[in-house]
Structure 1
């Protein structure tokens, strides 16, 4: 796992599958996603190498319920008593282990890719984790130093997928709703439970004013982010294009099937 500075207060934890991001402020840290189960020790070590303590964490924001994003949430939430765990209310029961996640609607070209990705993920189900605050579209989260995150409901990848937009620094965290391939191309995330809804959610995010876009898979956009998102959104159709297959170094999520998260 590599640590990449995107802004003085924003770092990317570049995992092989499922990136996480750290936002630092004077009143504590905010972690966005946690990668796969077993990633908490690496996250803690990286946070400490940046000069913080794991006990400085105040907020854990989960973009959705899949195990490559919420997989280590239980371990991270146990770092301290002052950590608030946030997730959209539609995915909260899955994250808490109360319900299975719905299976993705896979196109024919996605099926071998889906199997390939799952073969790289340890067969260890993530531990259930509490959700302290269930989010709805438009909810605000105070990150400290006057910075707010706006919770955007962007369903399609999962029913409760959520993006976090920081208007003041113009940063967007997309989770798996949008991804970026190894060639740098911005693409619709794969393995969606509702592909048409996923396209609508992509287009909604493309309308935002952004300078940095942080994906769950693929390298962040740090130049011309708004322009590139809008260009990619303009290429989407109501039917998933086969051409997106094979352009993804770590596809937008291993997805979920009944009984998995």
Structure 2
């Protein structure tokens, strides 16, 4: 149910907030939880929607799927707004956020994205605010958020080494960040295995076997019921098909990364309308994906299909 332009109620007490291209998710429980925090320059937009849902109540948690700039941009803003809110992420995410180079990179990409998407809108500029991880989360951890609601932590490296999924047990809902495929509004699926194909496929299998009936990815629309079931059925085979496609291009061009980047960019990025990932971030990720395929092609692929 769409409540307004910025809020969609996916299921009772579960909301998708913000621009559909880079949403965040709010679980309205006795201890309310925000999953990811998008861009820094949409901080006020997210916060306004959270206030409309929670009223005077405060966020208890902000759970981070991974530390890419478009998932942590507003975390510091929310921490200042709700000082008692706990920020939860992986141990590796904690290490990343302690490095000045990482913070500068996140801040720079948020500024670049702002210049593309919202330079002429009513949104006020909100620079990225650094923050510290309060709670390190690992596989099997369970957060009780009240009313018998629990969130389980699933380690899902592959998109990035620090990637986590969060499973809202009672609603059979999984928050996948970018590790469960990124489905553009056009229908094109990005399989973004930046830190390794093998780990990524293993994580896809964990997602597919989670029992989820609702899947909330880090970008664009969520999937429910039959659509979620079909998406999960197609997820691993679709990824394998893409790896085979990329491997063929690399082989045809003597594994020349630059040539292959230009070919794939023309096929999957240049043809897409906005909103889409800022080009500098896309190119960084594309190179990482190609290098992941190069290191993976000698592996027996069949063992990842079970």
**TM-score normalized by structure 1?**
0.79
Question: Secondary structure of the residue that 2:32 maps to in structure 1?
Answer: strand
How far apart in 1 are the matches of 2:128 and 2:160? Answer: 17
Note the residue ranges of structure 1 that are not aligned, 5 or more in a row.
104-116
How far apart in 1 are the matches of 2:174 and 2:144? Answer: 15
User: For residue 111 of structure 1, what is the aligned residue in structure 2?
Assistant: none
Pick from 164, 170, 174 the counterpart of residue 162 of structure 1: 164
Q: Deviations over 1:25-67 (max 9, x none)?
A: 1x231100111113221112111222523x5110110111011
Q: Deviations over 1:139-179 (max 9, x none)?
A: 11112211111111111111110000112210000001122
User: For residue 213 of structure 1, what is the aligned residue in structure 2?
Assistant: 215
How far apart in 2 are the matches of 1:189 and 1:84? Answer: 31
How far apart in 1 are the matches of 2:171 and 2:143? Answer: 14
1:1-261 aligned within 5 A? 2-15=6-19, 17-25=21-29, 27-53=30-56, 56-97=58-99, 100=102, 120-122=113-115, 126-178=128-180, 179-184=182-187, 187-190=189-192, 192-224=194-226, 225-237=228-240, 239=243, 241-242=245-246, 245-246=268-269, 250-251=276-277, 254=281
Compute the displacement of 1:251 (Å).
5.0
How far apart in 2 are the matches of 1:241 and 1:167? Answer: 36
Greater relative contact order (CA < 8 Å, ≥ 6 in sequence):
1
How far apart in 2 are the matches of 1:196 and 1:100? Answer: 25
- Taking structure 1 as reference, are residues 217 and 3 closer, same or farther at Cα in structure 2, changes over 3 Å only? same
Contact 2:13 2:27 in 1 (8 A): yes
How far apart in 1 are the matches of 2:239 and 2:206? Answer: 12
User: For residue 113 of structure 1, what is the aligned residue in structure 2?
Assistant: none
How far apart in 2 are the matches of 1:228 and 1:211? Answer: 10
Q: Which has the higher helix share?
A: 2
Contact 1:189 1:252 in 2 (8 A): no
Number of residues paired by the alignment?
A: 241
Instruction: Please identify the structure whose Cα radius of gyration is greater.
Output: 2
Q: Which has the higher strand share?
A: 1
How far apart in 2 are the matches of 1:250 and 1:31? Answer: 23
- Taking structure 1 as reference, are residues 13 and 147 closer, same or farther at Cα in structure 2, changes over 3 Å only? same
Question: Secondary structure of the residue that 1:48 maps to in structure 2?
Answer: helix
Compute the displacement of 1:88 (Å).
0.7
- Computed over aligned residues only, the root mean square deviation of the Cα atoms, in angstroms, reads 3.2
Compute the displacement of 1:245 (Å).
2.5
Q: Deviations over 1:94-151 (max 9, x none)?
A: 23445639x9xxxxxxxxxxxxx99645599733211111111111111221111111
